[in-house]
Chain A
Amino acid sequence: MDLKPIYKNVIEGQADAVESGVKAALAAGVDAGVILNEALIAAMDEVGNRFEDGDFFVPEMLIAARAMQAGLALLKPHLTAIDVQAAGKIAIGTVKGDLHDIGKNLVAMMLEGAGFEIVDLGVDVTPEAFVKAVQEGANLIGMSALLTTTMSNMSATIEALKAAGLREQVKVMVGGAPVTEEFARSIGADAFAPDASSATRVARQLVA
């Protein structure tokens, strides 16, 4: 069965068409993991590329992600553990003291679009909450801060991971308007991503 229409409808943000396409593909016996990787995730990769090239804008990226999620919801009952674990499990949140979550939500949507399992810890997330998420199986954590005054809490989380003896088993990525590559290095994070689509690329490199 041709998965191209699903791919195209994800890129164009047509959630209803994606749903009917996924239903038809499942009914025709196409493997759920194949639909996920070859139609949904491939489409979101293309969306990310277009965004990085300046051809797509944030609202377009968002409706594409929404269409992808509509398809994913139908696939979930059919996916095997192997399909899901392939990408990884990411716990994400804005750091303690920071309530600005638009950027974090965008990153979460794009990561989910790329096939990651997302544990959204929300806003104002304490170091302890990040530690707990890692204990519960997250192999990557993403921290975001908009304020220069809250950036320092990123390093508090990393210190807490070390104290709990978990630092070696988890990758840490950071982002947000004031965050730079240098800052990320200085606090001992594994990676920095300046925006939602590069976050996807960076996360894949980290768990590869």
Chain B
Amino acid sequence: MTELPPARPTHQFFDRQQCEVIHLAALEILRRTGARVHHPEALELLREADAIISDTNLVQFPAGLIEWALAQAPSNVTLCGRGTSQPAIRMEGMNVSFGTGSDCLNYLDPRTGEHRLFKAEDVVACIQLVDSLPEIEFCMSMGIPSDLDAISPYRHQAALMMEYTSKPVVFISGDKADCEAIVAMAAAIAGGSEALRMNPTLLCYSQITTPLNHGETSTDKLLYMAELGLPIVHMPSPMMGGTAPITMAGALALGNAEVLSGLVIHQLKNPGAPFVYGQGLHHIDMKTTISVYGAPEFELARAAVADLARYYNLPHWGYAGHTDSCVMDEQAASDATSSILVALLTGQHLAHDIGYIEAGLTTSPEMIVFSAEIINRMRHFMQGMSFDADSLALELIHQVGPGGDFLKTEHTLKNFRSFWQPVLFNRRRMHDWQKKGSKRLADQLREKTVSLMEARQPEPLSGSLKDELVYILQAAR
């Protein structure tokens, strides 16, 4: 009998031709409409590369320049955990890694149910939670501590992440000086900047302002990370109906033009520097004016961006485990489930925002723990099904024969563990479930989250490295 490779669920939204339409549309936007670049050095690099600059800073891009930049950028980026050259995250093919979101003002405390401002100790507790969950593979800060340095909270957040998790870190920065301090800390831990460049433990996240505006501060960060050869996701968040056309094709084309113009600046500074493609394409809700996370359009946009990035052969940025609900409820659970499945099916390399509720204003540790359970479940789904001889089990079927049972066979004993076992989800029947306290999912989730947050002792950073982080934080003031 022929042995086939395993079958796996797959998903493709755009074919080549559809990607090409969005590509050519972006080329036309950049040639005809152009983009504003509010940065002298970037303008100089563009002028030297034969871009047309008018009205001080309006740049029109020749198509060849954009396609040159696409050909320079590396096709994959890997991120390492602290103290190892072994990649923790390989941004390639259909690989998906999940991580938290950044910078929420509010914290939903699982112990008390209280919705309040983030404190530094909450950020630490959340980072430790991320460190303890194998399903969460990279860390973003989750909250801005209201009780820490209000002027430069970002480098403090980054220091906390480097101290309390050994997982790769995605950082936010207020300006280039923040980037410098954060990179210096990571380099100190990695054992020098060369080691950090070869085995990067961090990724910089920065924003392009839609429509078609490259701000001075964000372009500063872009050029700095390019120069160091450290990875950056430099991306717009086009808001359909607000900062972008309300139709998805137009918004996607606009966002694509913004990313590609950023890529040109980046590659002109240092050809071959690692660049992560991202577009936070979403829409404005015309009832409440929020930027919506829990919507079929949001998920379609994710599929579109992933296929487009794959068309360009670039590593890319994604979204999962977020909701517009204000609490960890049925809506949040439903949003987490569908977004995580979409992330896996569409192969979003770095799916971030795990734990976001209230459309990104609040982080909920319970949402993180719930999402971890769903990630685990959906990864089992994605494994698909094997077709080898042991899986077909014809000999076994013959031996057991009509009327027998498979429960007692070695084959069952050997293989039953490959089935998914939930931690939070109930499988007891009513009688038994009542006997065990009639706990709803929300009760189980709260207990599990609190016990994880109380149990975790992180591996501490060595004393001298900790001193070095403190020194860098103080010197950077």
Chain A interfacial positions (CB closer than 8 Å to B): 57-60, 62-63, 66, 101-102, 105-106, 180-181, 194-195
Residue of A nearest to B405 (CB): A102
Q: Is the CB of B431 within 8 A of A180?
A: yes
Residue of A nearest to B430 (CB): A180
- Interface 9-residue window, one of B74-82, B328-336, B408-416: B408-416
Interface residue SS majority, chain B: helix
Residues of B within 8 A of A59 (CB): 407, 412-413, 416
Q: Is the CB of A62 within 8 A of B432?
A: no
Residues of A within 8 A of B430 (CB): 180
Chain A nearest Cβ from B238, distance in angstroms: 47
Residues of B within 8 A of A101 (CB): 405
Residue of A nearest to B421 (CB): A57
Q: Is the CB of B416 within 8 A of A102?
A: no
Q: What 5 A-B pairs have minimum CB-CB distances, sorted nearest first?
A: A59-B413, A102-B405, A59-B416, A59-B412, A194-B431
Chain B interfacial positions (CB closer than 8 Å to A): 405, 407-408, 412-413, 416-417, 429-432
A58 to B416, CA, bound (A): 9
Q: Is the CB of A57 within 8 A of B416?
A: yes
Residues of B within 8 A of A102 (CB): 405, 407
Q: Is the CB of B408 within 8 A of A62?
A: yes
Residues of B within 8 A of A195 (CB): 432
> Which of A58, A180, A181 is the one whose CB lies under 8 Å from B407?
A58
Chain B nearest Cβ from A173, distance in angstroms: 14
Q: How many A-B residue pairs have CB under 8 A?
A: 27
Q: Is the CB of A194 within 8 A of B405?
A: no
A57-B416, A59-B413, A59-B416 as given contacts; A194 in contact with B407, CB under 8 Å: no
If A62-B413, A102-B405, A195-B432 are given as contacts, then 5 extra A-B residue pairs at C-beta distance below 8 Å, sorted by A number, are: A59-B407, A62-B407, A63-B413, A102-B407, A180-B430
Residue of B nearest to A53 (CB): B436
A59-B407, A102-B405, A106-B407 as given contacts; A194 in contact with B432, CB under 8 Å: yes
A81 to B313, CA, bound (A): 78
A2 to B407, CA, bound (A): 33
Residues of B within 8 A of A58 (CB): 407, 416
A170 to B398, CA, bound (A): 41
A57 to B416, CA, bound (A): 9
A195 to B435, CA, bound (A): 14
Chain A nearest Cβ from B125, distance in angstroms: 28
A181 to B430, CA, bound (A): 11
> Which of B413, B416, B417, B429 is the one whose CB lies under 8 Å from A194?
B429
Chain A nearest Cβ from B114, distance in angstroms: 32
A105 to B408, CA, bound (A): 10
Chain A nearest Cβ from B412, distance in angstroms: 5
12 sampled A-B residue pairs with Cβ under 8 A: A59-B407, A59-B412, A59-B416, A62-B407, A66-B408, A102-B405, A106-B407, A180-B430, A180-B431, A194-B429, A194-B431, A195-B432
A106 to B413, CA, bound (A): 15
Residues of A within 8 A of B405 (CB): 101-102, 105
